Structure 1
């Protein structure tokens, strides 16, 4: 998953400014932080707005998803660098489908999958996310959704996922600008929330009507 914002918006972490301090990533590199590919570093295109989800946010998210990731079928929409989908594969996800509409970004992601030897478990589709979701669905147990900010895509994608793309007990991570509380389906229950800079990530549990009361246990 990638922080890709609208073209008019200045990137929050310019590529020309190297990261500093312990635990911070190198500019132009994606560092995987856990699992099979831990500490592997992969190139990131120097393209405005294209940034991996920060290490701290990924670490928090995958602590929440510790029990849910092994064996999961993952959908990474607006994939960009594929930071979250790749992290999921590293931590034992059975397969991941990456959806990215920019052809150059998609080619780099495909190269990175091959570099990791994960191209048999990771599949890439070069397509617009909403157009992809209008196709024939197959259910996923874990979905990452990080659309460009201020384009009204989060709510539309959340509702489109309900058209057969989610397993009954799916987990969905949605990242938006902090000023936006996305409109999600009534069957989704907010489970965890994390804020970083001007963005907020929310992890939802799907709880279809008639499936009983959700519990409050961590993932």
Structure 2
């Protein structure tokens, strides 16, 4: 699988993709569409990418957070629990020269450490079919990663029913093949 940054200053740069089926990186087409929505098509409260602090939970290769850095985010924190995948994530950040603007946490997004500050944008792309979205949103909110005004992009399988939990407002929802991408605004 070829995985590239699709926009911004790192546009076209390759990311190291996994060699097995443990990960399902967000497809380039879906990633490009999601960032276009964040930058141009979303309601005003979701257009906060420039100089944003982002969190890429269930980070995998780091494609979402690294794409955000390429497109103008100030800093990105990545949460990933798979030790082998963490090495891949570190390699990708290093290849793009983004290690100074990244913080990588070896941990579980459903049991995150306390946040140093809330993120402006959270990318949540858990494994499909495991019911982790609600647990991760609750845990990230409780740990201070999500606060009032945080925009959350959730990727889930189209076949998995997704309903925005209490405190979140659904801003937009799109489908790309087997993936559904939902944009939420936290209002608590």
Q: Secondary structure of 1:162's match?
A: helix
1:183 Cα deviation after fit: 4.3
Greater CA deviation, 184-193 or 32-41?
A: 184-193
Question: Which of 72, 88, 92 is the equivalent residue of 1:108?
Answer: 88
Contact 2:119 2:146 in 1 (8 A): yes
Q: What secondary structure is seen at the aligned counterpart in 2 of 1:131?
A: coil
Q: Does residue 151 of the first structure (1) align with residue 93 of the second (2)?
A: no
- Equivalent residue of 2:99, what SS? coil
Q: Which has the larger radius of gyration?
A: 1
CA contact (8 A) 2:3 2:28 kept: no
Q: Distance in 2 between matches of 1:194 and 1:49?
A: 25
Is the 1:173–1:204 Cα contact (8 Å) retained in structure 2?
A: yes
- The answer as to whether partners of 2:164 and 2:184 remain within 8 angstroms in 1 is no
Tell me which residue corresponds to 1:40.
13
Distance 1:107 1:129 in 2: 18
In terms of fraction of residues, the more helix-rich structure is 2
Unaligned runs of 5+ in 1: 1-26, 209-219
The reply on whether 1:205 has 2:178 as its aligned counterpart is: no
Query: How far off its partner does 1:39 sit?
Result: 0.7
**Which residue of structure 2 lines up, in the alignment, with residue 55 of structure 1?**
28
User: 2:119, 2:171 → 1: CA distance?
Assistant: 18
Q: Tell me the TM-score normalised to structure 1 length.
A: 0.77
Pairs aligned (count): 179
Cα distance between partner residues in 2 of 1:60 and 1:207: 24
User: Which residue matches 2:44?
Assistant: none
Match of 1:136 in 2: 114
| Bigger shift: residues 177-186 or 49-58 | 177-186
Tell me which residue corresponds to 2:140.
Answer: 161
Deviations 1:57-90 (A, max 9, x none): 1111111211321111111011001111110000
Give the TM-score, by structure 2 length.
0.89
